[in-house]
A and B are shown apart, each in its own frame.
Chain A
Amino acid sequence: MPTHHPPRARIAALATLASALALAGCATTGGSGGTASASDAKAEAKQFAATPPGEPVYPSTYKPYPGRPTALKGATVYDGRGGVIENGVVFMSGGKITAVGGPDTPIPADVMVLDGRGKFVTPGIIDIHSHLGDYPSPGVEAHSDGNEATSPTTPEVWAEHSVWPQDPGFSRALANGGITSLQILPGSANLMGGRSVILKNVPSRTTQGMKFPGAPYGLKMACGENPKRVYGSRGRMPSTRMGNIAVDRQTWLDAIDYANAKNPKRDLAKETLVGVLKGDILVQNHCYRADEMALVLDMAKEMGYKVTAFHHAVEAYKIGDLLRENDVCAAIWADWYGFKMESYDAIMENAAYLQREGACVVIHSDDQNDIQRLNQEAAKAQAAGRRVGIDIPDAEVIEWITYNAAKAMGIAAMTGSLEAGKMADVVLWNGDPLSVYSRPEKVWIDGALMFDAMDPKRRPVSDFELGQPGEGDVK
């Protein structure tokens, strides 16, 4: 290692420190000495202004990586909208799905053709509920950035400001789960936890480089045990479920006042809530129990906003009719149960009973491990339905982890299904994706091959993993 770098670095650091001291000196003496008056005059002349609310800030810098025009031929294709094509063709070029159809679908002569016989093609898998990056691995205290649990309502925080793009979990979700898009949510200690961010599952040096272009924000809300436990145990409101709702309602009323005020002093928390009232920000509401979901739906009516999805809705099956009537998706696990009181009534038939009622089903993970196997979780829920006589076709089950998730995240016009013109977010599976024995073989994001099980170098390795045991290993 060259020895001249450290001294140079140290000198640079000292120089920075010196100038910082000089600036501080100016600031503390400003206005008292003759030399300061000129700069004061300049300051008066200059108008300081942040970017106005509503204009993009921390914008996405994601650009699709180069891809080759590629046709997948001969596979069973699930299109994400409930359709299935045997011996199908999926053609992608220019980062988009160009054509999807049967064996006779025309494709240009000079494109790469992959033999998909015996394999399956689905849209990229989408997880509506993840904390990757915000609660990354290693899960040490220094990385615990997923929940600003210092106030019952923190709609002012944005999950993207906590995302660590080097979380190795992103690569596992890609390679083992075929995850191409995911929503990172703040935690559930708060009634209003903050804004979510939707990411493309591409490795990047910055979070902005992962940010899904054009995706709406979500607002994470939470019912039930968590907020009342976290704040009640600190001797503050809420300590009960009625306290939960009361704090929520007052917060909404204040937000409505803010929305109606002329030129109010900017308030980051209320800006998020106004975004919800305007319908720009989608409410993603952690809520286990049926009775609480029903209360939240009435609160939403009272305050004039819409709940887009209930997450962890283990009792959704008790109110499938209500959820259908209110056009709310239920984002659920297949088999998590009984770990806390409000999960006591979880049953494996939840998804099937919702499907029976015509309600929207999304299978989610909330977990750095289950995000690697959402396809298997969906298959479990499907099988539970079959046993009670609710036969849900494979192609509709795939919808639970693709299109329905995209719909509930507000990105269904761009991804979530294999339809011409949409982003070429595609997974080639080495077998039936609803079987435990199948794995993603290749994953494309916007038409770029980002994972290939057959090519060890086409496997992302985060900065954190370099030089560590198992660098570049199969995971």
Chain B
Amino acid sequence: MKRLLAPLFLGAASALALSATPALAQDMVVTNAKLVIGDGTAPIEGGVVIVEDGKVVFAGKPAPGQRIDTAVVVDAGGAWVTPGIFATLTSLGLSDVAGVRDSNDIRAGGAPFSAALDAATAINPASQHILVHRAAGVTRAATTTLPAGSIFAGQGAIIDLDGDPQAVMQPRAFQMVNLGEGGAQLAGGSRVAAQTLLRAALREAQALVGKTGTPQTAEIVKDDEVLLGRFDAEALVPVVTGKQKLYVAVDRAADIRGVLALRQEFPKLDMVLVGATEGWLVANEIAAAGVPVIANGLVDLPETLEQLGATQSNAGRLAAAGVKVAINAATMQDPRRLPQVAGNLVALTRLPGATGMDWNHAFAAISSVPAEISGLGGKAGVLKAGAVGDVVLWDGDPLEVGSVPTKVFIGGVEQNLENHQSRLRERYRELDEGQLPEAYDW
């Protein structure tokens, strides 16, 4: 295989030579790109991306007269080239058809476990949702079960969408707890109960720090429902010790303040706010606490009484206050709408009185920022040396409705973009049953 000629490139390549190699990764160069790094910087015309051993070794403007030689050259022809979309929060891989209960692993209200649930144990890499979202340019996702039997959702995973048998990039990446109206109901009927349950659970976890073997701790039960089992308490040990992130789903400004104050009692908590519809009302406090937000992008209705201050300007106002803001994939029809939502935030910059994001930061809010929040800063959602080789070529501005990827690479491997929908699309290109039924057209 030919190597790059520039010392700069060689240096970058050798530094990464020892990294794990995906089975089918081909070294490649994408040239002539309108290149989006994904970190909030402006697109680079005539950019190149070089991927070796599944990782980015260089992305940017080549030096004048620079020769780039490698096995595979993809000429983007001036098209937009971006890192893959990093979707957070999702349930990708955890259900086939949400409305078909048997196929849906998102909620386990009848199980005697909550925090101990581990989404990584059930991801189906062949899920049509994964295939459909891959074709939409989503290459990595934070995926999680949702709270059902108790306030804790369980432990979410970071997955890739390449469809190989190893979907899970990082298991047990975070724990999630609902401390809003939803959590209140699950805890027995009030926010006070949810707050008490959370504290009790974290204290049980603290008592287990450093212990091994079968966890011995008190169960918390209500009637025949287990609100916290001993395995749940054990699962919260990494949370209370700050080794695993705690995502807190909460919307009301007062609830957000309460969450920020939790660190006075549990100083090691590494928290992320999820939803935060009224976050803009307490943006400075969130910024001061250094807590990132996976914010609802376009929620602008008081859909609950804890979302009275809902506005599409929430994410923009939080970002303007200095909060690290990713767009929450959970509050749109499907995570593949993330670019559309980001595009809408750009539109807000032209609306008097509204606060949106410029294009570069809006894109970062669906790529590098969610990756950073997921603990993968510099490793995903960005085209920089050392990051995974998730490269997407688009047929237009990626944030514009209607734009779709023309090529998707995950970990340097070019992906098949076919799925159930694309097959139906091909079958019904024309309604022609003159010779045989449509069923023979495949």
Interface residues of A (CB under 8 A from B): 137-140, 168-169, 172, 176, 225, 317-318, 320-321, 335-341, 344-349, 353, 357, 368-370, 372-373, 376-377, 379-380, 382-384, 386-388, 430-431, 434-439, 453-454, 456, 464-465, 468-470, 473-475
Task: Say whether, besides A139-B303, A336-B333, A383 and B97 are in contact (CB < 8 Å).
Answer: no
In the complex, 14 of the A-B residue pairs with CB atoms within 8 angstroms, ordered by the A residue number, are A138-B305, A318-B431, A320-B431, A335-B334, A341-B99, A345-B420, A349-B428, A369-B299, A372-B298, A376-B401, A383-B403, A453-B352, A456-B353, A470-B308
The one of B128, B298, B307 in contact with A369, judged by C-beta atoms closer than 8 angstroms, is B298
| Contact mask for chain B residues 78-113; partner A; CB cutoff 8 A; 1 contact, 0 none | 000000000000000000011110000000000000
Kindly report which residue of chain B lies nearest to residue A319, judged by CB atoms: B431
Chain B, Cβ-Cβ closest to A337 = B421
The distance in angstroms between the C-alpha atoms of A454 and B346, with both chains bound, is 18
Main secondary structure, interface of A, reads loop
Alpha-carbon separation in the docked complex, A380 to B334 (Å): 14
In angstroms, Cα B298 to Cα A5, docked, is: 43
Nearest-CB residue, chain A, relative to B280: A470
> Across the two chains, which residue of chain A brings its CB closest to B429?
A388
- A340 and B351 contact, CB distance less than 8 A: no
Q: Which A residue's beta carbon lies closest to that of B430?
A: A356
Contact check, B431 vs A341: say whether CB atoms are below 8 A apart: no
Query: Can you list the 9 inter-chain pairs with the closest CB atoms, starting with the nearest?
Result: A383-B402, A340-B99, A436-B343, A469-B309, A470-B309, A475-B300, A137-B301, A474-B354, A474-B353
Chain B interface size range: 35 or more
Given A335-B333, A468-B309, CB of A436 within 8 Å of CB of B400: yes
CB-based contact B343/A370 at 8 Å: no
Closest to A167 in B: B301
A63 to chain B, nearest CB (A): 28
Task: Chain B residues near A470: list those with CB within 8 A.
Answer: 308-311
Determine how close the nearest CB of chain A comes to the CB of B393; give it in whole angstroms: 14
Tell me if B97 and A339 are in contact (CB < 8 A): yes
Is A475 in contact with B311, judged by CB distance below 8 angstroms?
A: yes
Q: How many residue pairs at the A-B interface have CB separations less than 8 Å?
A: 155
Given A318-B428, A347-B424, A473-B311, also A437-B300 (CB < 8 A): no
CB distance from B336 to the nearest CB of A (A): 7
B278 within 8 A of A: yes
Contact indicator B401/A435 (Cβ below 8 Å)? yes
* CB contact under 8 A between A169 and B343, given known A337-B421, A349-B425, A469-B278: no
Of the residues A140, A353, A465, contact of B428 by C-beta under 8 Å:
A353
Max count, chain B CB within 10 A of own CB: residue among A376, A377, A384: A376
B346 and A437 form a contact (CB under 8 A)? yes
When distances are taken between beta carbons in the complex, the residues of chain A under 8 Å from B305 are 138, 140
Q: Is B276 an interface residue (CB 8 A)?
A: no
Question: Which of B304, B347, B352, B401 counts the most chain A CB atoms within 10 A?
Answer: B401
A373 close to B344 (CB less than 8 A): yes
Enumerate chain B residues within 8 angstroms of A431, measured Cβ to Cβ.
Answer: 350
Given A347-B421, A473-B311, A439–B347 Cβ distance below 8 Å?
yes
The smallest beta-carbon distance between A176 and chain B, in angstroms, is 7
| CB proximity of B346 to chain A, nearest CB, Å | 6
Is there an interface contact between B425 and A347, defined as CB atoms closer than 8 Å? yes
Residues of B within 8 A of A430 (CB): 350
Provide the residues of chain A in CB contact with B12, threshold 8 Å. none
B347 touches A469 (CB 8 A): no
A344 and B313 CA atoms in complex are apart in Å by: 34
- Scan residues 384-412 of chain B and give those whose CB is less than 8 A from a CB of chain A: 395, 399-404
- Per the 8 Å Cβ criterion, residues 229-256 of B in contact with A are 253
The complex places the Cα of A443 from the Cα of B136 at a distance, in Å, of 33
Q: How far is the CA of A389 from the CA of B424 in the complex (A)?
A: 16
CA distance A430 to B313 in the complex (A): 18
CA distance A388 to B403 in the complex (A): 13
Interface assignment of B129: CB less than 8 Å from any CB of chain A = yes
Query: Shortest distance in angstroms between B42's beta carbon and chain A's nearest beta carbon?
Result: 17
- In the assembled complex, the CB of A411 is this many whole angstroms from the nearest CB of chain B, namely 26
Contacts of A382 in B (CB 8 A): 402
Of the candidates A318, A346, A436, A453, which one forms a contact with B351 in the assembled complex, judged by CB atoms under 8 Å apart? A453
Cα A353 to Cα B429 with chains together (Å): 7
- With a cutoff of 8 Å between Cβ atoms, the chain B residues found around residue A345 in the complex are 420, 424
B350 to nearest A CB, angstroms? 6
Beyond the given A140-B305, A347-B428, A436-B343, could you list 16 further A-B residue pairs with CB under 8 A, ordered by the A residue number? Answer: A137-B301, A139-B303, A139-B304, A172-B301, A335-B337, A337-B132, A338-B132, A340-B100, A344-B420, A376-B401, A437-B400, A468-B308, A470-B311, A473-B311, A473-B313, A475-B300
CA distance A90 to B312 in the complex (A): 31
The answer on a CB contact under 8 Å between A437 and B343 is: yes
CB neighbours (8 Å) of B425 from chain A are: 347-349, 388
Interface pair B98/A340, CB less than 8 Å apart:
yes
List of B residues within 8 angstroms of A380 by Cβ: 340, 401-402
A residues less than 8 Å from B403 (CB atoms): 383
The answer, yes or no, to whether B281 is at the interface (CB within 8 Å) is yes
CB–CB B399/A436 < 8 A? yes
